[in-house]
Structure 1
Amino acid sequence: MTEVRASGDPSPSLGTEPAEEPHGAGVGSRLNWLRAGVLGANDGIVSTAGVVVGFASATSDKGAIVLAGIAALSAGAMSMATGEYVSVSTQRDSERALIELETRELREDPEGELEELTRIYEAKGMRRELAAEVARELTAHDALGAHAEAELGIDPDDLTNPWHAAGASMLAFVVGAVLPLLTITFSPASTRILVTVVSVAAALVLTGWVSARLGRSPVPRAVLRNVGGGLLAMGVTYAIGDLVGVHLG
């Protein structure tokens, strides 16, 4: 049996799957972590670049610019880590509370929970007899896991670790922030702003491309949106820095 591709060429398809179509909860979790890493790096690039460009437009003092960049990197990294830790901890607490409730319901009313699971599979399109059989088999194998997945969309054995999330977000932010900081530090005074803007735009093209590929969305739109947002942020901080510098000068 053959499958006709979009190009019209037949190719064997029995027992094969598309190479770029990942399946499984583990793959989905890894993709989510990658997306979070890309977003964290993107945030580090834009926020730190905005600060150093703003300071560079206000003063030519390289020490002040570098100090502002280090402060932006440190504060941003800690903010990302703290925010992610609080967010994931809150989500984890909610998931644990739901799991505890489900555990109690399974203990106090196993028949009612079995009927609830059967109806869930019925709603997905299974025949009543098949849904009941599946519910019984899964309940016998792992009652809590089956009910938590079907009713709550939670894997009791794979709750997100807030410390891991905080560390990953912090690291991603630092990696992104290092680029504009190093660029503006080691570029000549006469071209430091231009070089920083160009390097940041190139980095945003890369993060936009990666995020689009991970999300399977149109690449040009993601890149334009990413670069446009970054340039706008740097433009605003440059204007503010220039205005403040004129008045202070």
Structure 2
Amino acid sequence: MHRIRHHEHHRLDRIGWLRAAVLGANDGILSTASLLVGVASAATGGNQVLLAGVAGLVAGAMSMAAGEYVSVRSQADSEHAERQLESIELAEDPVGEHRELTEIYVHRGLDRKLASEVADQLMAHDALGAHLRDELGMSDATAARPLQAAAASAASFAVGAILPIVAAALVPRVAMTPAIIVVSLIALAALGAMSARLAGAGMLRGMVRIVFWGTAAMVLSSTVGRIFGVAT
């Protein structure tokens, strides 16, 4: 008889860095492209457009890193506080905590005797881990990692921002705006497909969603740039 091996490939361990990386890359492409399109539409020179793009890259990458770190650091602090509180409750009232864990398993479908036995064994093995996981929904796979999120966000922003800047640098001034838009939309579509693939979601939906909002942002930036360009 052939032994059937059951393989599962979950993606929960990617949640922290994937969210930050996708957000950073998306913002890098979109904000930089919109900035370049807006400046280029204002009839400024090519050097000014590129300077604005590089400044946007540096400022944006640092802003994304700081924002991600502060946000995820707050989450990590909350998780630490919950862990400390649960440790105190386990030390002060182990019977009550056992009862609480038993009720959780009963609610999930186990009969009370089996639920109590499961709670006994899990608390004997790792009481804190059992309560964090089953009572609070906390696990190592989904734990907040501020430095990882900040690094992923800043790096992906910079990579995303480089694409429209390179497009602007490689074409004549007269073709700069359409080149930025085309390259940026292609990059956004690829990012949407890749992020959907990594997350196990539908690729087409991810592509359409990100391209739609990217187009809207660049059209609005171009309109504003033209208005101010004519006004000056």
Distance 1:236 1:13, change over 3 A: farther
TM-score normalised by L of structure 1: 0.87
Name the SS of the counterpart of 1:165 in structure 2.
helix
Structure with the largest fraction of helix: 2
Cα deviations across residues 117-141 of structure 1 (Å, max 9, x unaligned)?
1111111111212111111111111
Output the CA distance in 2 between the equivalents of 1:99 and 1:65.
Answer: 50
1:70 to 29, 45, 54: 54
Output the CA distance in 2 between the equivalents of 1:219 and 1:161.
Answer: 27
Distance 1:157 1:237, change over 3 A: closer
Output the CA distance in 1 between the equivalents of 2:200 and 2:147.
Answer: 29
Output the CA distance in 2 between the equivalents of 1:14 and 1:130.
Answer: 29
Cα deviations across residues 134-184 of structure 1 (Å, max 9, x unaligned)?
111111111111111111112379742212211111111111111001111
Which consecutive residues of structure 2, in runs of 5 or more, have no partner in the other structure?
none
In structure 2, give the amino acid aligned to 1:93: D
Output the CA distance in 1 between the equivalents of 2:192 and 2:146.
Answer: 26
Output the CA distance in 1 between the equivalents of 2:183 and 2:140.
Answer: 44
Q: How many residues align?
A: 232
Output the CA distance in 1 between the equivalents of 2:39 and 2:191.
Answer: 25
Q: Which structure is richer in relative contact order (CA contacts within 8 A, separation 6 or more)?
A: 2
Query: Matches of residues 38-57 of structure 1 in structure 2 within 5 Å?
Result: 38-57=22-41
Partner of 2:120: 136
Within the alignment, does 1:183 sit opposite 2:167 as a pair?
A: yes
Output the CA distance in 1 between the equivalents of 2:214 and 2:140.
Answer: 39
Q: Is 1:60–1:189's contact at 8 Å kept on the other side of the alignment?
A: no
Output the CA distance in 2 between the equivalents of 1:174 and 1:229.
Answer: 20
Partner of 2:194: 210
Which consecutive residues of structure 1, in runs of 5 or more, have no partner in the other structure?
2-11
Distance 1:109 1:177, change over 3 A: same
TM-score normalised by L of structure 2: 0.93
Distance 1:167 1:58, change over 3 A: same
Q: 1:220 Cα deviation (Å)?
A: 2.3
Q: 1:195 Cα deviation (Å)?
A: 1.3
Partner of 1:79: 63
Name the SS of the counterpart of 2:172 in structure 1.
coil
Name the SS of the counterpart of 1:160 in structure 2.
coil
Q: Is 2:21–2:149's contact at 8 Å kept on the other side of the alignment?
A: no
2:204 to 203, 216, 220: 220
Within the alignment, does 1:121 sit opposite 2:105 as a pair?
A: yes
Output the CA distance in 2 between the equivalents of 1:141 and 1:106.
Answer: 14
Within the alignment, does 1:150 sit opposite 2:134 as a pair?
A: yes
In structure 2, give the amino acid aligned to 1:69: G
